[in-house]
């Protein structure tokens, strides 16, 4: 094992030991091999690190780390510009012209934002925007598509959430518009930028522009078993990252196995901070480029192409992303298609994602995964995002557990997946908890404050897999239902800003049992007026839930409890759904030690206990015919709460927390990084 050192005061001609460090991380990354450790000392590194060599196994990694006891080294995708000239006719507007040689073969001010599922700016409808950005003292400015708007920037107090069509307040720091406009002259070999910096002199401040697409990202595939810890990374231009193209990130493994990305501060990626995603040969925005088929068809093809270029558990995925602070990114904190499978996303602080709203498409979320097979999303603090977590296509064996969601426009969305997936022991405190375009989910012991919105998807048949593999077993549409809601506390906060449906009211039309579902199938075959309809709603299984004022239980037509009809093995009178009079005010409060839950709990919420849920209770999903179980095939026994505390028996409180008492409670639910 060799120890290499890097310092801004070093020289790449040095030997790379502690007293003779290299000057660039890239030089160390060109020679480090399995077992080596590269220690990077504090300072700013304006480079894109492209590691050349792979680790061999989890025991023989290549480790890149910030020097212990020093400030985090900063890897940035920008360059500082101090050659701004004032524009005579406007005291707040400045201009700078740079030589295109600065950008190499990638000029983000020449490349437009484009790609599959991008809705704004839309080709042929909206003015083009670009991958580049301008930063004033670390703050991302806004591109305007007309030079005149640099002289008269429009301030705003609200913005439209494109997915919901509702007005949302902007963050205070966004109300003053620092804007820029760029023009590239290929003939002259220059790029000219105009910017409105208001009362700042950009030559006296830290003023930077985007230059590089990535900060730490291999250009080759199968650069495996890399650890990256203790860095700050920022200001990479990346690219729009749909599931049908190369998914660039500020940092990521490209198409590889076994990376650990931990204890980093990642911010101001133009699009995605961490990419665990798809490589380019299985699709490169063909829908946008050719439009010969639907985007759905191209994505379906990408799955099968991915299998041909190595998408299997032994070669791709199994990454760990943990203990990172990720914020102020335009599209995602963490994105991935296929490459995110078998991974663990744990104890990250994810916030202010997708709120700048310079662009919009159907891929924007704090965490946005496609095909997150057997992936665990655990103990993250996800807030102030346009959408907290979006699991799209093939959420099979996926587990979302112990997370705290709050102050998001929407907390969770799951789309065209067939399960089994498990959502347990989470706090969902935003006005919209769940948008459901999927089936086969299990929601166990959650605190749910927001509304639930359900949909069927009869026009997109999407893949499911043989258990714990990437091998495709079949495809199916989403007819809705086949879901379990057990031991949750539904505590609507009844916000007037967003009127939604609380509790399980959206599932009232679901049959009460598999037998009733089969009866509906038989009726449809016999009724000539219903010929052609072969996909009625599937059953809803519910029990042990607590419904406070404003939340509606999915009761049977005779008023009985579904837990009695559907889950005879989920036994005991305490397993019945209970409607509780009164409200349960919930507040998430940030303090020095982390995020606290303050809640006023009615007596009836904690008066009785409910049975612990196990894999046996949850049964088997109808379409996939896979049991709810852990990635290694062992059964779930959900006898620990959000904080990891054992319930101490075969019963526990409804909701994610043991130890709550009637009246006021103050619980540390997420510890600071």
Tell me the three-class secondary structure of 446-491, residue by residue.
CEECCEEEECCEEEEEEEEECCCCCCEEEEEEECCCCEEEECCEEC
Half-sphere exposure of 642 (CA within 13 A, CB side): 35
Please compute the mean of the pLDDT values over residues 265-273 and round it to a whole number. 98
- Per-residue model confidence (pLDDT) at position 13: 98
- Per-residue model confidence (pLDDT) at position 520: 83
Q: Contact 343/216 with Cβ under 8 angstroms?
A: no
Our measurement of the distance from residue 479's CA atom to the centroid of its chain's CA atoms, rounded to an integer in Å, reads: 25
Please compute the mean of the pLDDT values over residues 274-287 and round it to a whole number. 96
Sort 37 into a burial class: Cβ within 10 Å, 0-12 / 13-18 / 19+.
Answer: middle
pLDDT at 568 exceeding the cut of 80: no
pLDDT by residue (tens digit) across 593-631?
999 999 999 999 999 999 999 999 999 999 999 999 999
Spatial CB neighbours of 635, under 8 Å, sequence gap ≥ 6: 614, 615, 616, 627, 629
- Per-residue model confidence (pLDDT) at position 566: 67
- Per-residue model confidence (pLDDT) at position 153: 77
- Per-residue model confidence (pLDDT) at position 279: 95
Residues 315-340: b if buried by 16+ CB within 10 A, e if exposed? bbbbbbbbbbbbbbbbbbbbbbbbbb
Rounded Cα gap, residues 474 and 303, in angstroms: 12
Report strand pairing: 441-444 vs 118-120: unpaired
pLDDT at 452 exceeding the cut of 60: yes
According to DSSP, the residues that pair with 463 across neighbouring strands are 475
Phi, psi (5° rounding) for residue 443? -115, 110
Helix (H) or strand (E) holding 81: none
Question: In sequence order, which ranges of 528-602 are alpha helices (DSSP H)?
Answer: 562-566
Q: Contact 671/593 with Cβ under 8 angstroms?
A: yes
* Secondary structure tally for the chain: helices H, strands E: 8, 53
Structure token digits, residue 344: 């663990």
Structure token digits, residue 455: 């949909």
pLDDT at 565 exceeding the cut of 80: no
Residue bearing tokens 């093809």: 301
What is the pLDDT confidence band of residue 563, given thresholds at 50, 70 and 90? low
Rounded Cα gap, residues 78 and 46, in angstroms: 7
Q: What domains does the chain contain, in order, with CATH numbers?
A: 78-210 (2.60.40.1180), 226-584 (2.160.20.10)
Please compute the mean of the pLDDT values over residues 192-204 and round it to a whole number. 96
Length in residues, the chain: 673
Residue bearing tokens 């310079």: 358
Spatial CB neighbours of 159, under 8 Å, sequence gap ≥ 6: 167, 168, 170, 357
Q: How far is CA 608 from CA 205, 554, 573, 578, 665, in A?
A: 61, 20, 10, 10, 18
Our measurement of the distance from residue 99's CA atom to the centroid of its chain's CA atoms, rounded to an integer in Å, reads: 37
Sort 189 into a burial class: Cβ within 10 Å, 0-12 / 13-18 / 19+.
Answer: exposed
- Per-residue model confidence (pLDDT) at position 162: 63
Lowest mean pLDDT among 288-297, 396-405, 521-530: 521-530
pLDDT by residue (tens digit) across 30-82?
999 999 999 999 999 999 999 999 999 999 999 999 999 999 999 999 999 99
Lowest mean pLDDT among 130-139, 161-170, 638-647: 161-170
- Per-residue model confidence (pLDDT) at position 532: 46
Phi, psi (5° rounding) for residue 467? -50, 130
Spatial CB neighbours of 508, under 8 Å, sequence gap ≥ 6: 552, 554, 555
- Per-residue model confidence (pLDDT) at position 169: 62
Rounded Cα gap, residues 128 and 364, in angstroms: 19
Share of the chain above pLDDT 70, in %: 92
Sort 60 into a burial class: Cβ within 10 Å, 0-12 / 13-18 / 19+.
Answer: middle
């Amino acid at each position: 094992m060799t120890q290499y050192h890097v310092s801004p005061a070093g020289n790449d001609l040095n030997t790379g030991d502690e007293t003779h460090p290299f000057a660039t991380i890239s030089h160390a990354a060109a020679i480090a091999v399995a077992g080596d450790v590269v220690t990077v000392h504090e300072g700013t590194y304006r480079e894109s690190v492209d590691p050349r060599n792979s680790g061999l196994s989890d025991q023989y990694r290549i480790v890149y780390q910030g020097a212990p006891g020093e400030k985090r080294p900063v890897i940035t995708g920008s360059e500082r510009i101090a050659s701004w000239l004032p524009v005579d006719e406007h005291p707040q507007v400045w201009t700078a012209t740079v030589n295109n040689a600065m950008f190499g073969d990638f000029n983000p001010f020449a490349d437009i934002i484009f790609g599959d599922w991008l809705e704004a700016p839309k080709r042929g409808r909206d003015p083009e925007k670009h991958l580049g950005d301008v930063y004033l003292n670390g703050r991302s400015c806004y591109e305007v598509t007309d030079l005149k708007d640099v002289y008269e920037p429009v301030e705003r107090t609200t913005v439209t959430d494109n997915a919901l069509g509702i007005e949302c307040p902007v963050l205070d720091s966004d109300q003053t518009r620092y804007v820029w406009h760029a023009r590239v002259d290929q003939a002259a070999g220059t790029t000219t930028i105009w910017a409105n910096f208001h009362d700042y002199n950009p030559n006296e401040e830290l003023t930077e522009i985007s230059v590089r697409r990535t900060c730490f990202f291999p250009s080759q595939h199968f650069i495996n078993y890399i650890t990256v810890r203790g860095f700050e990374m920022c200001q990479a231009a990346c690219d729009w990252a749909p599931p049908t193209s190369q998914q660039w990130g500020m940092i990521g493994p490209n198409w590889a196995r076994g990376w650990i990305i931990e204890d980093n501060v990642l911010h101001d990626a133009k699009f995605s901070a961490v990419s665990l995603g798809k490589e380019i040969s299985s699709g490169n925005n063909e829908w946008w480029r050719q439009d010969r088929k639907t985007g759905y068809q191209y994505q379906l093809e990408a799955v099968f192409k991915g299998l041909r270029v190595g998408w299997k558990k032994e070669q791709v995925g199994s990454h760990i992303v943990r203990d990172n602070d990720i914020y102020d990114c335009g599209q995602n904190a963490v994105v991935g298609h296929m490459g995110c499978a078998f991974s663990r996303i744990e104890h990250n602080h994810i916030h202010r994602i997708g709120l700048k709203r310079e662009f919009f498409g159907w891929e924007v979320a704090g965490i946005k995964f496609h095909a997150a097979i057997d992936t665990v999303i655990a103990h993250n603090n996800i807030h102030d995002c346009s959408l907290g977590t979006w699991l799209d296509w093939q959420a099979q064996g996926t587990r979302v557990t112990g997370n705290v969601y709050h102050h998001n426009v929407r907390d969770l969305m799951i789309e065209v997946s067939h399960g089994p997936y498990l959502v347990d022991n989470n706090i969902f405190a935003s006005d919209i908890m769940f948008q459901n375009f999927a089936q086969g989910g299990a929601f166990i012991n959650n605190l749910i404050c927001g509304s639930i919105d359900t949909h069927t998807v009869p026009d997109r048949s999407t893949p499911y897999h043989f258990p714990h593999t990437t091998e495709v077993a079949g495809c199916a549409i989403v007819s809705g239902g086949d879901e379990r809601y057990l031991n949750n506390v539904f505590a609507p906060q009844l916000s007037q800003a967003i009127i939604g449906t609380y509790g399980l009211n959206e599932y009232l039309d679901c049959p009460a049992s598999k037998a009733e579902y089969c009866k509906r199938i038989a009726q449809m075959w016999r009724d000539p007026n219903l010929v052609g309809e072969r996909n009625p709603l599937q059953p809803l299984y519910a029990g042990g839930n607590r419904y406070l004022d404003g939340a509606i239980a999915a009761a049977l037509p005779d008023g009985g409890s579904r837990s009695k009809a559907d889950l005879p093995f989920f036994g005991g009178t305490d397993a019945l759904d209970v409607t509780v009079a009164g409200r349960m005010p919930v507040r998430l409060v940030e303090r020095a030690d982390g995020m606290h839950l303050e809640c006023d709990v009615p007596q009836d919420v904690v008066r009785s206990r409910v049975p612990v849920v196990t894999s046996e209770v949850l049964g088997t999903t109808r379409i996939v015919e896979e049991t709810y179980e852990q990635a290694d095939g062992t059964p779930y026994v959900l006898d620990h709460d959000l904080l990891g505390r054992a319930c101490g028996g075969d019963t526990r409180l409804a909701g994610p927390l043991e130890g709550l008492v009637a009246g006021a409670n103050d619980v540390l639910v997420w510890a600071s990084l």
